[in-house]
Structure 1
């Protein structure tokens, strides 16, 4: 169950890149760990170690110039300790590896009106690869990717579509999307098994698909626990049938996040999964200030390490997305001449999503429940249990 660390995952994710020429866009799923026979519909990224069966390996690809890579954040900013921070880490890793230039940079967005000026600045400064972070940047990314076909784009957490919601399939855009409801399903099952009150809860920053997918998977996982165990665990904050739930309407208003969390704790919730960057920290403050015996579940990056140490005892687990290595790989592919467009989906089978360790809560998770969660993850991976209810990719 332990989520594969980013360095190991990068090697695995290399199997998902298409090295063939042409401009067709495809949905690509990375090969699973241990799968030594890549899907023949996908090409393999060139290894930086020359094939020893070739007497005179061509090293020109390894000597290509680094790519100037620039990143535009959404409103949560680069220090959100979540998906913006993870995306920038991917660029930094590309810089460290020599795929991206040392003058690669990011620009933060305090308001949606900042997105276009930020992109304009990047174009004027000669950025060759622009990473846009977050579902909300879909429209501005689509407009600018079409206006600047000579620039390569990586869109995180959105698939670009036309007015009829058909995929644009732009030849210069790679979309990184994640089937996070698979891992969130297991987190919901886990939380239902750990909860003392039988009441779980969630809230999000906005009803974006990339937010609600966590909430939906989490709720369905808890309901699966009820089906298996004959229990009646409740989840407050999300209704899978209505496709709606509890949202603060902001990813930056921490006072509102605090009051939202407190209202849920007043309903006897003892495990909460806030979705939307650092809006989970006010829930942690409420737990600490009110002296509650409650737990947090993080999203995107392992919150035990991503957030301040005072919150460490509160994290039951995190539903992780492998954003950094996917971003690094996109830059690497361009630098090596193996870049391809399309919708790249991270899921449990390719370690694109997963659960973090239980850290300080490990002793409070029974061996029986740990085994059940492990089996559940395996069953989701092999398709025995359906846990992906929100479509991603194309």
Structure 2
């Protein structure tokens, strides 16, 4: 081949390459795969009970794990041993590249709001707190009508007690626990006006020893059923029920597995449901901040445990179902605090 022919071939190749680079061809993207969609990353910061508290922290983590399995969302968590851990845990998750961060528990409300201001490009959620009109645009609050599920387990306890003494252990003297407490009291009294209620505040959500000690005292005083709204503190109560062969009522999750022969029902609270549904919104691109979600019986966010039929007679379950439908229809309104309870 002559030098002149070789030069001509090289020139033609250069022109062809230049046309392709300038978009002269209409198939330049054919055969190329679009870049893979980056997974959404969602994490949570626990309250002091930890991710295995058998209660609301664990329920939130289960919701995230389901979002990982079903939706392909990357999930993570940081545990808090004390309130001082909230802020650095949030900062750590932001630095790790998580787009949406949950604060699990009302105690985290201040830390979440501050984080929403410090990291406006991120999105945040808080369980058990409503900012109302002050909700930042990159925050969603989630609250529950705990009083409705508690009323139902109160009906069960009122019908099933043999001693007419029933106990309630509070984790703290705060609004969210008041909803559990007075809903439970209302159910007890509606089912059994003669029942005597024993009450004690453990002032902790992470003290199993205290929960067990309080429960043993209540059982010794004649209570045959105890309901707790005390996080991991209530795990101690359930242990006492197992040892004393007494009845117990769990909270937040179906806690029958902790003592299958003793936990007759649980006032379930769908923290896992709320976390999962927000993950779905993120996945679908329909998430909106600046709002508060409220979950009650009508929304499927609270209820009694599915294992209730192991120990609760069917006629009582039928009665509970009737009352449940009256709550959903608005015929029965459940008190959420002492003032509403006293006014019944």
Query: TM-score by structure 1 length?
Result: 0.73
Task: Describe how 1:108-119 pairs up with structure 2 within 5 A.
Answer: 108-119=79-90
Q: 3-state SS of the aligned residue for 1:268?
A: coil
C-alpha separation in 1, matches of 2:236 and 2:279: 35
The answer to whether the Cα contact below 8 Å between 1:181 and 1:218 also exists between their aligned partners in 2 is: yes
**What's the CA shift for 1:386?**
1.0
Q: What count of residue pairs does the alignment treat as equivalent?
A: 301
1:83 counterpart = 2:37? no
**How do residues 47-62 of structure 1 correspond to structure 2 at under 5 angstroms?**
none
Which structure 1 residue ranges, 5 or more long, are not aligned? Answer: 1-62, 161-165, 238-245
Which of the two has greater helix per residue?
2
Pair 1:287–1:329, CA change in 2 (3 A): closer
Q: Name the counterpart of 2:125.
A: 154
Moved over 6 A (4+): none
Task: Summarize the Cα distance change of 1:173–1:390 in structure 2 as closer, same or farther, 3 Å threshold.
Answer: farther
Q: Against the structure 1 CA distance between its residues 359 and 368, is the aligned structure 2 distance closer, same or farther, given a 3 Å change threshold?
A: closer
Give, in angstroms, the shift of residue 147 of structure 1. 1.8
Matched, 1:322 2:293: no
Partner of 1:360: 310
Q: Which residue of 2 aligns with 1:288?
A: 242
Q: Which runs of 5+ in 2 are unaligned?
A: 1-35, 339-344
Bigger Rg, structure 1 or 2: 2
Query: 1:360: Cα distance to partner?
Result: 3.1
- Could you tell me which residue of structure 2 aligns to residue 51 of structure 1? none
Q: Does the 8 Å CA contact 2:59/2:272 hold for their aligned counterparts?
A: yes
| 3-state SS in 2 of match to 1:202 | strand
Q: Which residue of 2 aligns with 1:301?
A: 253
Distance in structure 1 (CA, Å) of the matches to 2:286 and 2:207: 42
Flag the 1:64–1:349 CA change in 2: closer, same or farther, 3 A: farther
| 2:330 aligned partner | 383
Task: Check the 8 A contact 1:179/1:388 in 2, yes or no.
Answer: no
Structure 1 residue 263 displacement after superposition: 1.6
RMSD in angstroms over aligned alpha carbons? 1.8
Q: Distance in 1 between matches of 2:298 and 2:335?
A: 12
Work out whether residues 90 and 323 of structure 1, in 8 Å CA contact, stay in contact via their aligned partners in 2: yes
2:292 corresponds, among 339, 343, 346, to: 343
Following TM superposition, by how much is the alpha carbon of 1:184 offset from its aligned partner in structure 2, in angstroms? 0.7
How far residue 64 of structure 1 moved from its aligned partner, in angstroms, is: 5.3
Distance 1:198 1:146 in 2: 52
Q: Larger relative CO (CA 8 A, sep 6+): 1 or 2? A: 1
How far apart in 2 are the matches of 1:198 and 1:325?
Answer: 35
Contact 2:309–2:317 under 8 Å retained in 1? no
Structure 1 position 107 matched with structure 2 position 78: yes
